[in-house]
C-alpha cells in the first residue's frame, strides 16, 4: 500500500484573509464595531462598546492611583510604578479568566512607556505626555481623512456594513459620515486645548483630573453621537441589519 500522507493541520486549508477582510476585522474591534448593526442604541449597548463596567474601571484605576499617591507624597517612583503594577495585574486577571486581553495589554504597555518616560525625565507632568501624543495623532488622522475626502468614520462604517466605497457615491451618507468624523476631530481638539496648556503650566493635579473627566465620558458621548448619525443615515438600508445581504441576492 502507498504511504498515507499525514493529515494537514486544521489551519492549513483555511484561506488567508484578504487585505479588505483584515481591515474589516480591525474595524469590528473598534468601539463602533462593537455595536451590532441591528442594535438600537441603549445604555447597555453603549457600555458594551466602551468595554463594559469592567473595562471602564480598568481604564480609570491607574490614573486615580497615580493622583492618589503623587499628590500627598510627591514620591514619583511609587506614583508611576503602582499604576504600572496594577495594569500588569489586570492583564494576569484577564488571562486567568480567559477573557479578552487586548485592551488590558495595550494599557499595560502604554503605562510601562509612561513610567519609563516619567522616571527618566524626573517630571511628574510627563506622565501625561503619551496621552497627549495619542490625542494629537488622533486629531491629525481624523482631520486629514476629512481633507482627503475619506472621512475615517465612513471608512470604518463601510467596512462594517460591506459598503466599502458605496457610501462615498451617496451624497447624504457621505455628508453625515463626514459630520460624524468631525465629532471625533472635536473630541481630540477639546482634549488638546485643555491638556497642552496645563502641561506647559506644569499643573499635575489639573491634568490628572481633566484626563479622568475627558477620557471615558467624552469618548462615550462621541461614540453615542456617531452611532445615532450612522443609524439615521442607514435607516431602512438592508445592509444595516445584514451586512452580507448584498452577497446573498445573487
Residue boundaries of the structural domains of the chain: 19-49+126-250, 53-122
The average confidence (pLDDT) of the chain is 79
pLDDT of res. 246: 45
Percent of the chain at pLDDT exceeding 70: 71
Of residues 97 and 128, more confidently modeled: 128
Residue 48 has pLDDT above 80, yes or no: no
> Residues 186, 195, 88, 86: is their CA dihedral positive or negative?
negative
| Dist CA 117 CA 115 (whole Å) | 6
Residue 224 has pLDDT above 70, yes or no: yes
> Residues 187, 188, 192, 195: is their CA dihedral positive or negative?
positive
Confidence of residue 76 (pLDDT cuts 50, 70, 90): very high
Taking residues 39-67, what's their average pLDDT?
A: 71
> Which residue bears the cell 499595560?
108
Taking residues 191-217, what's their average pLDDT?
A: 92
| Dist CA 211 CA 128 (whole Å) | 8
177, 157 Cβ separation under 8 angstroms: yes
What b/e readout covers 68-81, taking b as 16+ CB neighbours within 10 angstroms? ebbeeeeebeebbb
Q: What is the pTM of this model?
A: 0.76
Lowest-pLDDT choice from 28-42, 47-61, 81-95: 28-42
Amino acid at each position: 500500500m502507498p504511504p498515507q500522507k499525514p493529515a494537514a493541520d486544521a489551519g492549513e486549508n483555511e484561506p488567508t484573509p484578504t487585505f479588505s477582510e483584515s481591515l474589516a476585522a480591525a474595524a469590528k474591534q473598534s468601539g463602533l464595531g462593537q455595536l451590532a448593526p441591528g442594535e438600537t442604541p441603549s445604555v447597555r449597548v453603549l457600555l458594551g462598546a466602551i468595554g463594559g463596567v469592567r473595562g471602564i474601571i480598568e481604564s480609570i484605576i491607574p490614573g486615580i492611583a497615580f493622583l492618589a499617591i503623587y499628590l500627598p507624597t510627591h514620591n514619583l517612583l511609587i506614583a508611576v510604578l503602582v499604576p504600572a503594577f496594577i495594569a500588569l495585574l489586570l492583564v494576569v486577571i484577564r488571562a486567568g479568566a480567559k477573557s479578552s486581553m487586548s485592551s488590558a495589554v495595550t494599557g499595560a504597555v502604554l503605562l510601562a512607556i509612561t513610567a519609563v518616560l516619567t522616571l527618566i525625565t524626573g517630571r511628574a507632568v510627563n506622565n501625561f505626555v503619551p496621552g497627549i501624543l495619542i490625542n494629537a495623532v488622533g486629531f491629525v488622522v481624523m482631520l486629514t481623512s476629512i481633507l482627503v475626502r475619506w472621512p475615517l468614520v465612513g471608512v470604518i462604517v463601510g467596512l462594517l456594513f460591506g459598503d466599502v466605497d458605496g457610501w462615498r457615491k451617496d451624497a447624504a451618507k457621505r455628508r453625515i459620515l463626514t459630520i460624524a468624523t468631525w465629532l471625533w476631530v472635536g473630541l481630540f481638539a477639546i482634549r488638546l486645548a485643555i491638556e497642552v496648556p496645563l502641561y506647559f503650566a506644569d499643573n499635575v493635579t489639573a491634568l490628572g483630573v481633566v484626563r479622568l473627566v475627558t477620557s471615558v465620558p467624552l469618548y462615550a458621548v462621541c461614540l453615542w453621537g456617531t452611532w445615532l448619525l450612522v443609524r439615521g443615515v442607514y435607516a431602512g438600508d438592508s445592509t444595516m441589519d445584514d451586512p452580507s445581504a448584498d452577497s446573498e441576492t445573487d
